Structure 1
Amino acid sequence: MIMKKIIFLFLLLNSTAFFAQDHFSGISTSKRIGVLNGTINPAELANLTSKVEVHVFALSTTVANNKIGFSDLTGDTNLEELIFVGSEPANLRLDVEILGPSAAFRYKNWGFAVSSKAYGKLNLVDIDVNIGDAISNGGLNSLLNSTTLNGNYNQRLNGTTYGELGFSAGRNLWETENYKLNGGATIKLLFPGSYANFGADQMNGTITTVAGSSYLSNTNATLNIAYSGNLGNSFSDFDSYSDSVFGGLNGIGVDFGANFSIKDSDPDKGYKFNSGLSVRNIGSMTFKDDNNSSTNYALVIQGNESLDLGQFDGVDSLQEVEQILIDSGFLTSTSSNSDFKVKLPTVLNAYADVRLIPTLYVSLFWQQKLNDDNLNDQVTTQNTFTVTPRFSLKNFEVFSPWTQNEISGFNGGIGFRAGGFFVGSGSVITTLINDSKHADFYFGFRFGIGKS
């Protein structure tokens, strides 16, 4: 099931850089309000710090897992064994977000923005450790020669790339001397690039290990095998993601948001309190390509028959996985489509930023996914809750985000902003002082023209 090379990719990224949890953690709620804030909540565009904001570039990358800690990277333990230890399903998330050239401006009570984004996602969702161990390690972690599978959920290997062009507007709806209320919306034109999904739902069966080889028998499961573009040919090759980010226009998404703030009597000091609520990524995109395929199968292995799981060790293509299973004679197609829709990762975001003293702020940020990661034909995301204390001057900020992440647990990091340049990590502190299962890094540059 393509497992080995995915794990190698995860380990390579984890050992060469630090990567981010909720994207742009800490800087996205900065009091210097620009395009980045507008991507979290379009209502913030009515609060732009500058008359014109030019966003040049920003990159945020997330890696999270629930098995491998930072100390494991420096030890002698076989890391492929560690990812499939215990009884809890294995989860990995690699999530890259690029905010490309973008611009925003204020006009009277309105704020407008045009933004460009690119996404790359690689996810392992609730993989049964017994199956992963049998394929990658020949069942080395199994204490018994026979293991019973009783999966009552959908295990997924999922990869996605797509681009986005957003058109946003925010407007002041109500304002007094002390208070301000804004609303906003974004329409996103979606450019699906490449997609791959392997889902194994309600898998029940037996894995038997003999002389280092593992076999699957007495099995029933519902499979979904879907792919489009480069990811059908190579699921774990980085070039398959970077070469296929923007496809043709074939989808629409929308964001909605509201923003409430308590103003300071001195406009130069900004606000005393700023808060927002938004629903993001409502919509879907249709993948179309010459090699497109989305097929649902019934996997049935009965009697004395068995499937040699060693056939999948090192396999790097969903097309090859599908062909091996078809050749085994254990698959029956139940439905098939050449083009298919994939839902965006819809989330609810809520945040509040409070000024304690003139230069010290504390913000709370909550992200709650509204989709079920176990369902096929959708892009996954993560639930997070972040607390960020921040020392803030006009042209300089230092902040330290502390996040509870549903996959990797508790993480803490640090970042700073100097003028329009910012750089940070949501987990570098816990990575260095604790056995963190999360690592991250982000940076970017933007500049403003004129005082709002």
Structure 2
Amino acid sequence: MNYLLKSASFLLLFVIFSPYGHSQSYIGNTMDNYSGVHSLLLNPAHVVGSKTKFEFNIFSASAFVGNDYLGVDFSNLRNIGDGFSFDSDVSKTPSDRNNFFGNADILGPSVMFRLNEKSSLGINTRVRTFFNIHNISGLFYESISDGFDSQSDFQANMEDLAGTIHAWGELGLTYGRIILDNESGRLKFGTTLKYLGGAGGLFTSSPQLSAAFNSNAGILTTGGTLDYGYTSGFDTENIEFTDFTGGFGADFGLVYELKSKDEFPVDSVYLPKPYKLRFGISILDIGSINYNGATEVSYDMNGTVDVVEFDEKDLEDLLNENFQGTEVIGNRSLGLPSSLQAFVDYNVSKKFFLSLHGAYSLRNSSTFRVSNIINTISVTPRFESKGISIYSPLSLRQYQSGIHWGIGFRSGPFMIGSGSVLSNLLSSSSKSTDVFIGFKVPIFKDKAQDLK
């Protein structure tokens, strides 16, 4: 668990202070009618009826990290040259049920293209890493991460503690088809079948874990049980895909477009707008990866530890030398972050849109050996055209109070954005941050095709 907590600190600080952050998958961009390959990450049915006739993604990266424990005042970061203080520039909100989460999503060479007027195909390559730790005491986290030297006495009682780090690659094949098209609307279906290459992961869980620190004696007294495990050869500091484990996954989606009765001229010919209102629903990341030869140890955590050992020993040595454990080596499955996604997109005028998007995790946060997204709901106004799109999402996120406000844009082959950059600049205690960037080559339809 010490290793998990230190990994959480590294991920959090890396995103906050790095000029290239990481995001919960291209927030705001996937609703754009010109987003092409990236729209398939929200709903595979978007592959058919796209504004692009052909698109090739060169490279895109998105990442997201957050928590409900550590808040950063980004306005003070301009003074970082004078030194950054965790006492004055960081606020902490400890409880017995704090949560930490993050993911990185890299979209490699990927294509999508039309097969005919009613069907399209997409192929994508993708590398993803998820980190989750739920229901951990903030005081316990702080002590293990920063050391016990300046910590006063505390007691913590944690229930349903669960943590997972998992990295994998995907090769996805997307097929979409228009299954209904009449004067009033159009219904599209799409699916993505994925071959998964698991790089491995580590995981921990405890139904009940207590911790009491005596600062005078320098002793941590713990109670309860703890399961800790990892796949063979997995190292969070050096994740490799040279010897991966195969698996399979899938996405499914439906999109219905209610056609507008309004008309406008194009080259002296009146053609209808593509839609006035669009609805979509999808289930993403169905599946898991089964790892052979994974190590899992169940520990009886009733005992005491000299806190000096947290600085001198790694996690396995500390646990093995202080607590009784039962080790099992066998097959273990790590579940993908399955989610239900739904959206409504309203065409306000020719180039202005307003969308509502909700994402709901189908994985319980306390479930052992699974990754999960955080539940979110977003409202995004946007302007879009063939040459440029601008969008500004406003989101509510699970575990966090307040509205997260960001901005992003697409111009030709380049896109960049964040779902929280504006609120981070305005807030004195930001607890999540994200950013995305990408380069791709789109080939658009002609004007008549563009309106079909």
Same fold (TM over 0.5): yes
Q: 2:110 aligns with which of 102, 117, 128?
A: 102
Matches of 1:429 and 1:327 in 2, distance apart? 48
1:348 is the counterpart of 2:350: no
User: 1:16 Cα deviation (Å)?
Assistant: 2.3
C-alpha distance 450-8 of structure 1, shift in aligned 2 (>3 A): closer
1:17-416 pair list within 5 angstroms? 17=19, 19=21, 21-32=23-34, 34-71=36-73, 74=77, 77-78=85-86, 85-108=93-116, 109-135=118-144, 136-138=146-148, 140-142=150-152, 145=153, 147-156=154-163, 158-210=164-216, 213-217=218-222, 219-231=223-235, 235=236, 237=237, 240-241=238-239, 244-245=240-241, 247-264=243-260, 265=263, 269-288=273-292, 292-301=293-302, 306-313=304-311, 320-328=314-322, 330-333=323-326, 336-409=328-401, 410-416=403-409
Partners of 1:55 and 1:102 within 8 A in 2: yes
AA matched with 2:249: G
User: 1:357 Cα deviation (Å)?
Assistant: 1.8
What SS is found at the alignment partner of 1:382?
A: coil
Partners of 1:19 and 1:425 within 8 A in 2: no
Partners of 1:199 and 1:224 within 8 A in 2: yes
Q: TM (normalized to structure 2)?
A: 0.86
Partners of 1:52 and 1:103 within 8 A in 2: yes
C-alpha distance 296-375 of structure 1, shift in aligned 2 (>3 A): farther
Partners of 2:204 and 2:226 within 8 A in 1: no
Partners of 1:134 and 1:214 within 8 A in 2: no
- Paired residues in the alignment total 426
AA matched with 1:447: V
For residues 408-428 of structure 1, the C-alpha deviation after alignment (integer angstroms, 9 at most, x for no partner) is: 442111111112321111111
Matches of 1:27 and 1:221 in 2, distance apart? 43
Unaligned 5+ segments in structure 2 are 78-82, 265-270
Partners of 1:62 and 1:96 within 8 A in 2: yes
Unaligned 5+ segments in structure 1 are none
Matches of 2:93 and 2:72 in 1, distance apart? 16
Matches of 1:139 and 1:90 in 2, distance apart? 22
Matches of 1:332 and 1:412 in 2, distance apart? 47
Partners of 1:33 and 1:47 within 8 A in 2: no
Partners of 1:67 and 1:82 within 8 A in 2: no
User: 1:355 Cα deviation (Å)?
Assistant: 1.0
How large is the Cα RMSD of the aligned pairs?
A: 2.6
For residues 273-323 of structure 1, the C-alpha deviation after alignment (integer angstroms, 9 at most, x for no partner) is: 2221000111111234xxx5331413142xxx52224322376xxxx4123
C-alpha distance 387-273 of structure 1, shift in aligned 2 (>3 A): same
Q: Which aligned runs of 4 or more in structure 1 are off by greater than 6 angstroms?
A: none
Partners of 2:69 and 2:94 within 8 A in 1: no
Q: Percent identity?
A: 25
What SS is found at the alignment partner of 2:73?
A: helix
Matches of 2:20 and 2:88 in 1, distance apart? 21
Q: 1:441 aligns with which of 429, 435, 443?
A: 435
AA matched with 1:138: F
User: 1:245 Cα deviation (Å)?
Assistant: 4.6
Partners of 1:224 and 1:296 within 8 A in 2: yes
Q: TM (normalized to structure 1)?
A: 0.86
Matches of 1:314 and 1:197 in 2, distance apart? 22
What SS is found at the alignment partner of 2:34?
A: coil
